[in-house]
Structures are given as C-alpha cells and as structure tokens.
Amino acid sequence: METAYVAVLSFLFLVSLHALLRRRRSKASSGGKNRPPPSPPAIPVIGHLHLLQKPLHASLARLAARHGPVLSLRLGSRAAVVVSSAAGARECFTEHDVAFATRPRFPALELATFGGATLSTCPYGPYWRDLRRVATVHLLSARRVGLMTLPASGAVAAGARGAARRLHRAAAAAPGGAARVELKRRLFDLILGALMEAVAGTRTSRDEADADTSPEAREFKETLDAMAPLVGAANTWDYFPVLRWLDVFGVKRKIMAAVRRRDAFLQRLIDAERRRMDEDECSGRESEKESMIAVLLSLQKSEPEIYTDTVIMSLCSSMFSAGTETTATAAEWAMSLLLNHPEVLKRAQAEIDASVGTSRLLSAADVPGLGYLQCVVTEALRLYPAVPLLVPHESAADCAVGGHHVPRGTMLLVNAYAIHRDPAAWADPAAFRPERFEAGGAAGATEAALMIPFGMGRRKCPGESLALRTLGLVLGTLIHCFDWDTVGGAEVDMAEGAGGLMLPRAAPLEAMCRPRRAMLGVLQKL
C-alpha cells in the first residue's frame, strides 16, 4: 500500500514539475512578447477539468467572465484555448482559418466516426477536401437542396397528416378539444422522415393510425442517445489515456455496440437503394427522383476506389446525425419561444396564411419567401444554438489570438452561445425579438454582432442551407396546420439541460395543440 502511495505522489510531482518547466520555457522563448492566454489555477494531472460543470458552455462562459474572452485551459493531457468573443472568433476563422482548420483527435469520437473519416471530424487535408467537394458540389448545392426538399415536403405532409389524425382522436377525448402533446419525439420523427425521403429516397414506415414514432426513428434515436454522452469535448475518457487503456467504465464496448446498430441501419438503406437502381437499370426505367445515396452510388460506379461503401456511410451518417437531433432540438427551442410569445406566433401564422393560403400545405419552395418565419428561426438559433460550443478545432501552427500566444496542437473551443448573447454586440441580448433581423429592424444588433450557429470559416457546416430549409418547413407546417398554447396557461420553462455537444431542454416541451379549423379540409384530404 505504501509503495503504491509513493508511486502516485512521485507521478504527481513529475507531472507538476514538467508543467512548470514547460511554462517557463514557453515564457523564455517568447521573451514576454507573446504571452499565453490567462488561465485559472490548475490541479496536477486533471488540470482544469474540476472547474467544468454541465452545461459546459455555461461553465466556460462563467470562466470567461472572470478571466477574459480568450482563456487557456489544461484538460487532462490536452491544452485548450476557449474563445468567447465575436472579435476572437473572427480572428480565428479569418486571419488564422488555415491554422485552425484541422480537428483534434478524440479516441472515443473516432470509434463513432469510421476512424475520424466523417466530413465534420476528419483532419484538414486532401481527404477532407475531397469530401467537402462531394458535399458542396454533388449533395448540398443550391440545386440539390431544392431537389431534396421537394420530396421532404411530402414526408412532412405525411407526418402532419398522421399528427392531425392522432390529435383529432386525442382532442375529441380531451376537455376543451385540445390535446396535450410532447413535441420533441414528434419533431424528431417528422425531421427524420423528411431526411429519409431526401437522403435515402424512402419514407419511414410508421403506421400513422396507431403509432407516434416510426420503427426507423426509434432505432436511429436509440443509437444517437447511446453515443451522445460517450463522445465529444466533454468526455473525460478522451483526456486520460489510462482510462482508455483500462476501460473501467466500458466506454469502448458501449460505443461499439451503438456503432454496430447504426452501421447496420445505414447499410440497409444503401443496399435497398442499390437494388432499386439495379432494377431500374434492368427495366430501362428512369427514376423520377434521385436521392443522396443514389447520387453517391452513381459516383461509386465511375470511381469505386474513392466512393466506397464506408465513405458513403460516413456521409450519410453525417447527414442524419447532424440533420435530425440538432434540427429537432432547434425546432423544440423555437416552439418554446413561440409559445411564450404568442404575438410572434400569430404574426408568423398570418404571414404563412397570406403567402400560402389555407387550401394547401406549406411546401419547401414557400419557405424562402416567408421573411418573418426566417427571422424567427434565426433569432431562435441565436438564443439557443443547437451546438452551443462549435465542433472543436485544433491549431496546426503557432499563432496569436487576441494578442495571446496559442501553440501548435492546442484545441480550440468557440463558445457560440456566449457570442450570441454578448451585451456589447446585441441590444437586449436575452430577449426574443425576431424583428432584429428584419431589414432596418429597430431591435437589431451592432456591427460587432456575429451569428455562428453553423460554425465559421472553411470548416463551417456545408449543410446550413438544407438545415435552415428543413427547419423552416417543419416549424412553418406546425404553425400553419395547428393552433398552439401552453399547458395550463403557464409560461414554458426555458431551463437548459446538461447535454453534451448539443443544447437540450431540461425537460421535454409539452404543449396544447388542436388542428386549425381553416386547415381541417386540407388535412383530411391528405
């Protein structure tokens, strides 16, 4: 026992001595000109991990308030810098965009992302450029987004029809004719249905008469729920190699079990689309629609060494994981804000009625013309970005941020949540005011304001256009087809949950819902 105790103390002493000598060497080499960012007191071995609480973005915002908008932390074996100002973010992703274009390696995340081979996690270099080209040219160009959202409109319409039928039954049995619904799972199923139609060319197989959630939605959400707490910047397993070697908590086993289920799900979609394309080719039929998987399989025929099934799965995984949970979370926060601001909801509803009417459903093609609805979406993303800390970056070269020296190999965390609520940049930053984004809006922002819910620079999310179109379509459909109210007339609690990479609500949103009388004829005909 004494031998083990002495060994632990010796190890801690050596780690502390190494950190002290490294800091002194850094100061000596810089000559005091390039000072490191300010840093709170650290503890040997664990560094500053003891200061981080969930939700992580709020914890980092509190540290930034005490130590400054550019802050250095030691997270176990990793050095990190946290940027919480618009000026710092602009500097990182403009002047030093190439230096911060790569990603840190997280062993847990690599297990879940085909060895770090997805578009959002792979290192900066030729492979990333190839994936980015495929995404921007073949999958997420303006033309492709338009083609993909056309069938998505049908999937959302089908979801609205199923919701209307269930709500009719529930409302008939409820006092006052309004049904109490939990929105998150319905939003997830609605969005997954739209993405399944656009990405895989197939609709979810929910029996609309009997089920709230499709088997596909349940299966995919279970894999996401299993992986979410095990991967990302907040997972301590990635900061202490000894935890990975011993794997006392079975993290690797849990991740791999979820990965196997997800990969089987994706492989079924790819195989089904490959069979359909082969049948069409044999019969000489031309497909009326071309899914994202079909595009990738066509590219695979000409360049099989590049477009392998693994690459196709990684791109599909990115689309589903980035497009379902994050979009559903953003829509849930937007509905929470609308329920607490019924005047905004009524104005958005009136805009849709004036533009679309009540004789048909809202379509994806209508969304770009709904200016106020887009302001609502933008303001909701400002207050509650689905990913409050941008996906971590890593410095590939020494650089300076805010006058502070950032060494090569430092992980960069950008607090979008704090930047979106900076009182120096936004008038009344905590208030929900969609009007601030209208042309000439009096409730706007200063020139220093920065909106980065999808990131910034060359690693910015290429699916921004599709995500905004899907979010507008889903949110607009809910507003167009149904009347909404809070449960018991009480204000919706806006408390934030702990989450991981994302920003969930502390409690799932519940609301009172009834089909709009003006839309009953349309809904009944679907």
Of 54, 280, 93, 382, nearest in space to 62 by CA: 54
Number of structural domains found in the chain: 1
Residue 518: the pLDDT is 92
Residue 83 lies in a domain: no
Q: What is the 3-state secondary structure (H, E, C) of 170-231?
A: HHHHCHHHCEEEEHHHHHHHHHHHHHHHHHHCCCCCCCCCCCCCCHHHHHHHHHHHHHHHHC
CA distance 475 to 494: 18
Model confidence pLDDT, tens digit, residues 55-98: 899 999 999 999 999 999 999 889 999 999 999 999 999 999 99
How large is the average pLDDT for residues 152-173?
67
* Overall pTM surpassing 0.85 (yes/no): yes
Treating both helix axes as pointing N-terminal to C-terminal, what angle do 342-356 and 371-383 enclose, rounded to 10 degrees? 150
Model confidence pLDDT, tens digit, residues 495-504: 998 766 789 9
CA distance 398 to 262: 38
Residue 388 lies in a domain: yes
Percent of the chain predicted with pLDDT > 70:
80
Residue 23 lies in a domain: no
What SS3 state is found at 401?
Answer: strand
Of 38, 90, 98, nearest in space to 69 by CA: 38
Q: Is 399 annotated as a binding residue?
A: no
Residue 125 lies in a domain: no
How large is the average pLDDT for residues 503-524?
89
Of 396, 401, 387, 375, nearest in space to 461 by CA: 387
CA distances from residue 116 to 220, 318, 470 in whole angstroms, order as listed: 20, 12, 27
Q: Which domain holds residue 349?
A: 132-525
**201: pLDDT strictly greater than 90:** no
Q: Is the dihedral of CA 515, 370, 492, 55 positive or negative?
A: positive
CA distances from residue 197 to 74, 101, 193, 320, 384 in whole angstroms, order as listed: 44, 32, 6, 12, 27
**210: pLDDT strictly greater than 60:** no
Residue 374 lies in a domain: yes
What residues contact 310, with CB distance under 8 A and at least 6 apart? 114, 117
CA distance 480 to 352: 7
CATH of the domain at 443: 1.10.630.10
How large is the average pLDDT for residues 252-277?
90
Residue 61 lies in a domain: no
Residue 4: the pLDDT is 45
Alpha helices in 228-324 (DSSP H): 241-246, 251-283, 292-302, 309-323
CA angle, 300 as apex, 294 and 303 as ends, to 5°? 150
Residue 381 lies in a domain: yes
Amino acid at 6: V
Neighbours of 425 (CB within 10 A): 18
Instruction: Give the strands of the sheet with 179-182, arranged side by side.
Output: 179-182, 510-515, 482-485
Residue 256 lies in a domain: yes
Most confident of 169-178, 260-269, 451-460: 451-460
